[in-house]
Amino acid sequence: MSFLRGFKFAFRGIIYAVNHERNMRIHIVIAAYLLYFVSYYGLSPAEMSVLLAVIALVICLELINTAVERACDLYSEKYDRLIEIAKDVAAGAVLVAAMFAVGVAGFLLWRPDTIWSIILFHCSSPERFTLLVLTAVIAILFIIIGPKRMIENAGSWFSKRKKTKDND
């Protein structure tokens, strides 16, 4: 197998998890917002490295959890106590990492003055506030329905709109 072909398979796995696992989408949205807001903090390279490491840890464990779940589902469709344990332990690993990541983020970012200045900055302009709300709505849709269905729905919406314009 070529080196680049291995990347193709890896990206395919990531895309599968994003399309099929709501928790993966939640982790991605939280990471994206966190990385945006952290730009207001002026973290040191060491602090930023720790933050990036815990984000990567949570996402990696979510990928492993997805793999364990799919492998277990392949093994048996009926209830099996050992499969339940394997799935629960894999999910527990993600939970522990996520709780640790929240702790690290809280430790690094709990600065009420900075938080307040971020809020004031985004609320002081109707454009910035609207953009923040719009990204939040898109993020919620991304989490709830997933990117695949968002693209399908957008495509059908645009094609309906085009048909309506063509009929006018």
| Residue 62 annotated in active site | yes
Alpha-carbon distance of 47 to 41, in angstroms, equals: 11
- Could you give the angle at which helices 22-37 and 126-167 cross, rounded to 10 degrees? 130
Annotated catalytic residue: which of 62, 69, 77, 84? 62
Taking a C-beta distance cutoff of 8 angstroms, is the pair 73, 20 a contact?
no
Active-site residue numbers? 62
